[in-house]
Structure 1
């Protein structure tokens, strides 16, 4: 080989390397441009509607003293948690709880302030932040602020219907759920840096510490992210993201978990918040009733239709990864709702982000197709929102009206059904308060914790009420053990709820019956 040929070979190799490097630089530049283009087109936040609706829902909360009498069993137990913790008791140890420790720390603030209004304030903040991010997501996928405004109204109405009275843990996780969904949307569009996964992990930890069941989104998203990065041969990037997520998660877990460690309730906290929540029982006696309610809710809300529309929209090739994440998370949440023997309508709140996003995920492709068919070449944002109409009520066959009718009917039905019971609870609570010391313990074999709250007396058992947690033999044994210690000065028994035989025998031996003129309750006093 001559010197000239050798020189030409070197030049040819350099040229190939230069072309490859140029292509890599061009790809990198294109990626940066796509990133910037996505950020420039991000929807702006709408603050006023979220503020007004959050204020309305918080004013209608049972945390408002004017509506405290309408509190359900779970709501009254949440109030009791704050009252008990302010008196020095600990969740999971002194009283049974399936929500996260951070939720009970929020109730502690209410207990320290000696008013339930504190939970209404926290609920307002949670709903306000959730509403802002919900609107952003709706605007991004629908490309219409009018559609986002319309769906925001239904979002808050559905929260009011499913979680009437508020102060449920499932409401307090909504802002973190929606911010994480918005994060995933931006990530799949190459709109966020990998370092932001730290905040994604913080969201996961906060959700786990408030309402553990809702962490299913992060479990599903982890699998989708692994597939997303593997397909793009970004394995190193995936590892870096996982470490960032884990760092953010542990940062919160260690901070909040320190309380559980100091109070020596770590073991019982894991058992009651994790193992109890992942327990599935598809053979429980009320499963047919639960399935009927869930299916009716999915039909009335339009979520069932939205689910199938999103499934059929995969063929358009748009937003495939976020669609997969939301559909799988939606199905996983449904499984855990149906498999829970202690179903409550408030559990459906966690489905709202998924159901509404699935309503607009296919909308962009359908609206674009409509524009193409009319041969509109140049169309601006406002023109599209006017040309392409969207009516969620009409598209859901007007079934959401049933949900709206439920909102005013719920308090009326509650007052009619529980009016006499609540009146007797008040009378019994006043009698106990006037005939016992402040440190006396009582027990209410009831489906409400109102007697504890109104009498200002602590429960003699860790399981506060006979419903809904006596579905397992362990819980039945626990409450029998606690009551057979005879620490309760008074035991109030709701005659509509069957007593366990061991507890009934103990009451007959060690307690006397009081005649307070009640027809729905039997009051026992320790001999």
Structure 2
């Protein structure tokens, strides 16, 4: 049977001896009266269907089961569950508070400085409107399940080893359960769209996807960016790669058609989002905070730069996500399989890694942004290691399918000097240690919140110098400053000045200061002149000031 040109058969691909080439031509057996072209007695429509069916990657039931169970466990341990709320860190509690205020009529971006996408706050605020954050559990379950499924399929396509795909999907859940403990990070909501797009592009560059599917690619791109703006790095790089791929292969008409499909997919999402953003009159603030700030400011907090750089660097290396980047060289040269998508992954990893390393934060959640790209590259590294071991023992070589997942896990650990055990254990222990350490603080936070709720009107504002937004959440009172917590998003000097200006203008009816907090000298002066201490029984770790 003669090879045929995939460009003339939409949706077809290469398999079982068929090789996709822009320079090959196929043989026309006959032309029917209706203009239907047949190939070796088959219509091109039936050929396309058969090829697409044979190249489809399915998820076995037993692997669906482990992804489903792990998704349920992580969803049930989310900070959206009341008994886990006190495990939340500063950014998780702040995002919960902003979403709650959004549900109560205040606006993110204009009333509060927010870096998450519009869909992110809208989704959480919707749960508050429905009466409980427990509504977020099925949402998180769906995001985890879809992410794990797409990741499994991508790795299965690239390595053709179920053991590697299974292990990588398990590591995905380990990372989200330790480094991303508690969930509710914007990137976790965006991950299904990113991994779904990676799977689509992997199939497209292999010739297994129809051009019409670019509508879904455009839809996923817009939706993912409206949860986590920094995923735009991946979308831009993938678009450039698609453009170059079509240019090199002279797919000019197809490329133009794909652009139209992408635009249509974007419009389906952007029209809905822009309708709300324009009506809420937060367009300018949204652009400045979500787009401009996210891509021009690396620091999330203002801790010691060198110390946090070493901390985040060790976490990235120890997590096992870097090994794939270091060993990717052979996959980017010559006629390597899936070379185009691998370039997208490596560049996305490098550009996104910068934000993790220079975050000036001790929060390991910043590493989550490199997970979709790092895990796929790690899978390729494991595949290479298994092939090399097989070559060294060729005299007693076994079938690759006989390699068990446990052995692959052993290879993963040994190639990373067993550091993943240290990193995952440490990341899992941090929220538990902080929870135990903060038991006294959390008890007093509840007391302070109850006092403020009773002694303030709903339209009066407060400000809390603390590392958690729990007092805001419990008291249901609005922050006097757009910067809800003093240590988040205030590394920029103009933001520090804006926060200080708000406080010295006496805009807060009550000020709450955690014990031993270092306050700016200008603020101390205003505090002594215009505020007085409010006596609250049973509260020793916090000082409450009321406006004179």
Band the TM-score falls in, shorter-chain normalisation: 0.7 to 0.9
Which consecutive residues of structure 2, in runs of 5 or more, have no partner in the other structure? 1-22, 30-36
Shift of 1:386: 0.2
Cα distance, 1:264–1:150 mapped onto 2, change above 3 Å: same
Find the aligned partners of 2:274 and 2:362 in 1 and give their Cα distance.
Answer: 28
Contact 2:117 2:227 in 1 (8 A): yes
Distance 1:375 1:285 in 2: 53
Cα gap change, 1:287 to 1:224, in 2 (>3 Å)? farther
What pairs up with 1:215-230 in 2 under 5 angstroms? 215-230=232-247
Offset from partner CA, 1:390-417 (integer Å, 9 cap, x none): 2333443322211332254223310243
Alpha-carbon distance change, 164 to 363 in structure 1, aligned in 2, over 3 angstroms: closer
The answer (yes or no) to whether the contact 1:35–1:190 under 8 Å persists in 2 is no
CA distance in 2: counterparts of 1:507 and 1:373, whole angstroms: 72
1:486/1:268 CA distance change after superposition, 3 Å: same
- Structure index of larger Rg: 1
Give 3-state SS (helix, strand or coil) of 2:328's partner. Answer: helix
CA apart distance, 1:418: 2.2
- Cα separation, 1, equivalents of 2:276 and 2:231: 22
What is the rounded CA distance, in whole Å, between the counterparts of 2:535 and 2:527 in structure 1? 15
Aligned residues, how many? 504
Q: Deviations over 1:57-76 (max 9, x none)?
A: 11111111011111111111
Deviations, residues 299-337 of structure 1 (Å, cap 9, x unaligned):
212222221222233347222111111001100101233
- In structure 2, the partner of 1:8 is none
Map of 1:40 onto structure 2: 54
- Cα pair distance change 1:254/1:289, threshold 3 Å: farther
Partner of 2:115: 98
Structure 1 partner of 2:545 = 524
What SS does the corresponding residue of 2:543 show, helix, strand or coil? strand
State the partner residue of 1:355.
374
* More deviation, 32-41/436-445: 32-41
Instruction: Please list every run of 5 or more consecutive structure 1 residues that lacks an aligned counterpart in the other structure.
Output: 1-19
Whole-angstrom distance in 2 between the partners of 1:284 and 1:385: 49
Shift of 1:479: 2.3
Rounded to whole Å, the distance in 2 between the matches of 1:293 and 1:270 is: 31
Note the C-alpha offset of 1:439.
Answer: 3.7
Q: CA 1:304 to 1:366, structure 2 compared with 1: closer, same or farther past 3 Å?
A: closer
Deviates more, 1:336-345 or 1:184-193: 336-345
How far did 1:42 drift? 2.8
The 2-side partners of 1:252 and 1:141 are apart by 30
Whichever structure has more helix as a proportion of its residues is 1
User: Which residue of the partner structure matches residue 450 of structure 1?
Assistant: 470
Aligned Cα RMSD in Å?
A: 3.0
**Structure 2 vs 1, CA of residues 148 and 333 (structure 1 numbering), >3 Å: closer, same or farther?**
same
Please give the alpha-carbon distance, in whole angstroms, between the structure 1 residues aligned to 2:79 and 2:180: 11
Kindly indicate whether the alpha-carbon contact (under 8 Å) linking 1:70 and 1:415 is maintained by their aligned counterparts in 2: yes
Match 1:269 to one of 278, 286, 305: 286
Q: Is the 8 A contact 1:278 1:336 kept in 2?
A: no
Conserved? CA contact 1:433–1:456, under 8 Å? yes
Q: Which residue of structure 2 lines up, in the alignment, with residue 512 of structure 1? A: 532
For the residues of structure 2 that align with 1:186 and 1:197, how far apart are their CA atoms? 12
Q: 2:452 aligns with which of 432, 452, 469?
A: 432
The match for 2:11 is none
Asked whether the 8 Å contact 1:75–1:168 carries over to 2, the reply is yes
TM-score by length of 1: 0.87
CA distance in 2, matches of 1:102, 1:71: 21
Structure 1 counterpart SS, 2:546: strand
Answering whether residue 496 of structure 2 is matched by residue 480 of structure 1, we say: no
Match of 1:385 among 398, 401, 406: 401
Residue 233 of structure 1 corresponds to which residue in structure 2? 250
Contact 1:43 1:140 survives alignment (8 Å):
yes
* Counterpart for residue 414 of structure 1: 434
In the TM superposition, what are the counterparts of 1:94-493 in structure 2 within 5 Å? 94-280=111-297, 286-315=304-333, 317-341=336-360, 344-361=363-380, 383-386=399-402, 390-391=408-409, 392-493=412-513
The CA distance in 2 between the partners of 1:183 and 1:196, in whole Å, is 8
Paired residue secondary structure (1:98): coil
More deviation, 112-121/346-355: 112-121
Change (3 A) 1:480 1:291: closer
Q: CA deviation at 1:384?
A: 3.0
Provide the residue aligned with 2:8 in structure 1: none
